[in-house]
Structure 1
Amino acid sequence: MEIGALADWAEAGAELLAVCVALFMPYYTAYKAKKHRQRNLQLVLQRLVQAVLEGQPDSLKTLDIFLKISFLSNEDANNDELLLTGNQVVALYADQTLSAAARQARVVQLMAQVQLPVTVKAPTKN
């Protein structure tokens, strides 16, 4: 019984490998793109919330607009918690009954729940 030349077997193995790569490469690139979008959302949310905590002008409005646009273009259920946390931060700043210290403490707590650290800078003495 003859099993064929070694070159034929090597060619068949290479073809099988090429087919596997061609079939699974789109799934892998989509997975990497999804992770990249989630990382970008985390970074931007963290920076915008930090700007709100620092009291930078128009930072709350920018955060609100960013969240609305991100919510409309969101296709990943894993990003829902980040977007809801951002909306809770905006709602906290809309609530005028809270003191500034309580509001800042609650924002830091909310961001810690989604593992995005933000800091509140202590007021400087003049």
Structure 2
Amino acid sequence: MEIGSLAEWATAVAETAAVLVALFLPYFERRREHRKSTRNLKIMLRGIVKRAIDDNDPKSLETFISVSAFTDAGERDKETMNVARQMLDLFHSDSSDIERRNREIEALLEDIRP
């Protein structure tokens, strides 16, 4: 049995590398897209919450959570959406101390840094 020439070995190594890249590239692309969409979701949520705090009106946050429930973001980013629901619950709590409520919401915002 012959070992083969250097050219055959180089070809075999290159073909193996090409197969590995073809198999794993879609996985890495999906993972990168997931991280990008999660980051965008967090950025959008932070802006909506800050506007809700400034206006003292959680309607836009309610709409955001409702719409996200019908998209894949609600399923994919469960942790982020749970934090958003906690913030909405704080808005709806019967707290007379708005400053304390806003501090608690700001603390939750720190949990969802992009």
5+ residue gaps, structure 1, are 118-126
Aligned to 1:101: 99
Give the 5 Å matches for 1:47-58: 47-55=47-55
Matches within 5 A, 1:82-121: 82-112=80-110, 114-116=111-113
Partner of 2:31: 31
Higher helix share: 2
1:68 corresponding residue in structure 2 = 66
The structural deviation recorded for 1:115 is 4.5
Report the AA paired with residue 36 of structure 1. Answer: K
Deviation of residue 101 (structure 1)? Answer: 1.3
Root mean square deviation of aligned Cα: 2.2
Report runs of 4+ in structure 1 exceeding 6 Å deviation. none
Per-residue Cα deviation, 1:77-107 (whole angstroms, up to 9, x for no partner): xx22211111122222223443221221221
Question: Which one-letter code corresponds to 1:3 in the other structure?
Answer: I
**Residue equivalent to 2:5:** 5
Aligned residues: 112
CA distance in 1, matches of 2:64, 2:14: 47
Pick which of 29-38 and 63-72 moved more: 63-72
For 1:97 and 1:115, locate their aligned partners in 2 and report how far apart those are by CA, in whole Å.
Answer: 23
- Give the aligned residue type for 1:93: F
Tell me, in whole angstroms, the C-alpha distance in 1 between the residues paired with 2:92 and 2:75.
Answer: 27
Name the SS for the 1:75 alignment partner.
helix
- TM value normalised by structure 2: 0.83
